[in-house]
Structures are given as C-alpha cells and as structure tokens.
Amino acid sequence: MWVDVFWAWSVGIVGMSFLVTGNGALVPRVAAGVLLLLWSLRLGSHIFQRVSQETSEDGRYAAMREALGSKAQPVFLVFFWGQGLLAWGFALTFWVVGEQDLFTPPFVLLGVAIGLLAIAGEALADKQLSDFKKRPDSKGKTCREGFWRYSRHPNYFLRVAALGQLPGNRHRRPVRGVVVGVAVGHVRVPVVRHGHPLHREAGAQIPRR
C-alpha cells in the first residue's frame, strides 16, 4: 500500500529537518544525515517498486478490511494517522543527534559502520523476501529462508542495530532515555502490530517496512 512508501520517506524528511535545524556538533549530524538518506531512499524506493507492480491489495490490509467490514474505512483513517505519528516518533532519534554537543570520534565511526551494515542487511532481507515471493511454490507460504529463518522481522531488528550505537555517545541522561525508548519502540511496534491474528492470516505477506 502507498502509505508504506510515504512512511519511509516521511521518516527521512522529519529526521533530516531535525538534523538541519539542530544546534549540536556538525560531525554527528552529517554522519547521521548520510545514513538517514541512504536508509529512507532505499526503503522507500524498494516499497515503491513493489507497490507499483502489485495488482491486488497488500494481504495484511486485505485481511483487516475483510475482518472489519463496514468499519474498515474509519479504522484505516485512525490507523494511518497513527502511522504518521509513528514516523515522527521514530525520527526523534535524529533530534537527539541534532542537539548533542558532545561526541566521541571513534564512537561516531563505529556508529557509521554499524549503520551501513544494518542498512545493507535490511536490503538483503528485503531481497530474500522478494526472491521468495517470485517463486511459484511460495503462494500461501511464509518465508523461512535467509534472515527470515531466524526471525519474522529481520528488517526491524536490523533497523534497531542502526539505532543501537546512539546511546553509546555522550548524551545527557534524559536524552539517552529518548534514544533507548525509540529503539525499544522499533521492536515493540512490529511485534504488537504484526503479531495480531489479522496479520498472521496474511501468510506470505510478511511485513516489509
């Protein structure tokens, strides 16, 4: 669904606005900005390509629509408003970076390395799922190959890896709490949302975001 495309891009836009308008040190802001652009553009483009080629509604949303019946449209409206709020919440990570005035160069380099590795891993997980879904024998099945053998949400956990380096920098205690909270939210939200029976009924339609 197109909302997934704009979700990925909106996180990038909001996050970049925090970095550009921030008053923190330049080096962490530039490093975070490069990683954010790579992540947002790659993920948004990947979902755009998939959605533009689909001939039917995403299995997750189709299952919700069928279960909700006449209540589907109002529920979807609130659901998509929530998606916008989540995009802002996830982008708070970059507000932290944008406002930090202390940083340790080795930690910044380590963070960039972890971020690049996480982005590459997320891209590989998306490719593994895409290749699986192209196979004739995959219909109605759940991908259990590659990274997907170990988790229903490898792309989410790889995203958390990109965030995991931020608390290691020298933040003030309340700010560190924001970073840890957002990182936990990256895990908690997909577990709650996509662990719901409506999403499990979607079978092979594993979350791609």
Per residue in 8-64, pLDDT tens? 898 899 999 999 999 989 998 999 899 889 988 998 898 888 888 877 777 777 888
pLDDT tens per residue across span 106-135: 888 888 888 888 888 888 988 988 888 888
Maximum alpha-carbon separation in the chain: 56
Query: How far is residue 193's CA from residue 184's CA, in Å, rounded to a whole number?
Result: 14
Number of domains in the chain: 1
Which amino acid does the sequence have at 116?
L
Q: Bigger pLDDT: 189 or 45? A: 45
Highest mean pLDDT among 26-30, 85-89, 160-164: 26-30
Q: Do 35 and 175 form a contact (C-beta atoms < 8 A)? A: no
Q: Is residue 207, in this structure, part of any structural domain at all?
A: no
Q: Could you tell me which residues come within 8 angstroms of residue 46 by beta carbon, excluding any fewer than 6 positions away? A: 123, 126, 208
* Residue 111: predicted pLDDT: 81
Q: Is residue 159, in this structure, part of any structural domain at all?
A: yes
Q: Is residue 205, in this structure, part of any structural domain at all?
A: no
Q: Is residue 208, in this structure, part of any structural domain at all?
A: no
pLDDT tens per residue across span 128-158: 888 888 888 888 788 888 888 887 777 677 6
List the domain range (segments joined by +) for residue 14. 2-200
Short-list 101, 79, 77, 93, CA closest to 35: 93
Q: Is residue 112, in this structure, part of any structural domain at all?
A: yes
Q: Is residue 153, in this structure, part of any structural domain at all?
A: yes
Q: Is residue 171, in this structure, part of any structural domain at all?
A: yes
Kindly state the tokens that stand for 118: 């996480």
pLDDT tier at 203, thresholds 50, 70, 90: very low
Q: What are phi and psi of 170, to 5 degrees?
A: -90, 75
Q: Is residue 103, in this structure, part of any structural domain at all?
A: yes
